[in-house]
């Protein structure tokens, strides 16, 4: 398995994985994850992935096996307020591993490479969110060294 930064040529393979990830999220919270029509979603998702690959403040890592993508991680750089001693953050917005490759170290490899990149950029905090109902993800992140340090709430208006 190879972990590398995504290229524009990867976008057509990333889009269906993003759709599968979205469908997983919808199972946990169908109201929050309502989306546009599937045809429009594909176009918007393609543009989003292309823009992320080109961006300086975000990136996508891919896991590749036998020339096929089997997972991805998307992350964005952010800064905390200037009064904070540790200001640099990297926020993992998405982590997906194809079903048949789960439990085989793919997610761990993606997170490890993300941490390596973050340390290289002098980032002090790696952050992420997982749906409160997604026990599998919460268990994985806890096993990977993440801990709960805040409580995020939402209210639909």
Whole-number pLDDT of residue 50: 96
Provide the CATH number for the domain around residue 52.
3.40.630.30
Q: Where are the alpha helices (DSSP H) in the chain?
A: 11-28, 38-54, 106-120, 135-143
Q: Is residue 65 part of a domain?
A: yes
Whole-number pLDDT of residue 69: 98
pTM: 0.91
Q: Is residue 156 part of a domain?
A: no
Q: Is residue 67 part of a domain?
A: yes
Q: Is residue 49 part of a domain?
A: yes
Whole-number pLDDT of residue 137: 92
Whole-number pLDDT of residue 23: 86
Whole-number pLDDT of residue 26: 86
**C-alpha separations of 127 from 28, 33, 90, 94 in Å:** 20, 21, 6, 11
**C-alpha separations of 124 from 55, 87, 88, 130, 144 in Å:** 21, 7, 6, 20, 16
Q: Is residue 154 part of a domain?
A: no
Whole-number pLDDT of residue 12: 96
Whole-number pLDDT of residue 85: 80
Count: domains in the chain: 1
Q: Is residue 95 part of a domain?
A: yes
Phi-psi region of 44 (alpha: psi -120 to 50; beta: other; left: phi over 0): alpha
Whole-number pLDDT of residue 1: 95
Q: How far apart are CA 71 and CA 73, in angstroms?
A: 7
Q: Which residue has the tokens 């990136």?
A: 59
Q: Is residue 25 part of a domain?
A: yes
Tell me the residue range of the domain where 109 lies.
2-143
Q: Is residue 86 part of a domain?
A: yes
Given a cut of 70, the residues of the chain with pLDDT beneath it are none
């Amino acid at each position: 398995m190879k972990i590398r930064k995504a290229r524009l040529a990867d976008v057509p393979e990333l889009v269906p994985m993003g759709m599968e990830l979205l469908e997983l999220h919808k199972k946990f919270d169908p109201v929050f994850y309502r989306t546009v029509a599937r045809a429009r979603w594909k176009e918007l998702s393609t543009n989003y992935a292309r823009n992320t690959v080109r961006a300086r403040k975000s990136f996508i890592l891919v896991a590749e096996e036998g020339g096929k993508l089997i997972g991805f991680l998307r992350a964005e750089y952010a800064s905390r307020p200037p009064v904070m001693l540790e200001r640099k953050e990297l926020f993992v917005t998405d982590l997906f591993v194809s079903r048949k490759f789960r439990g085989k170290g793919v997610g761990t490899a993606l997170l490890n490479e993300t941490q390596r990149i973050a340390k290289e950029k002098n980032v002090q905090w790696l952050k992420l969110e997982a749906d409160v109902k997604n026990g599998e993800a919460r268990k994985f992140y806890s096993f990977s060294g993440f801990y709960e340090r805040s409580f995020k709430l939402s209210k639909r208006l």
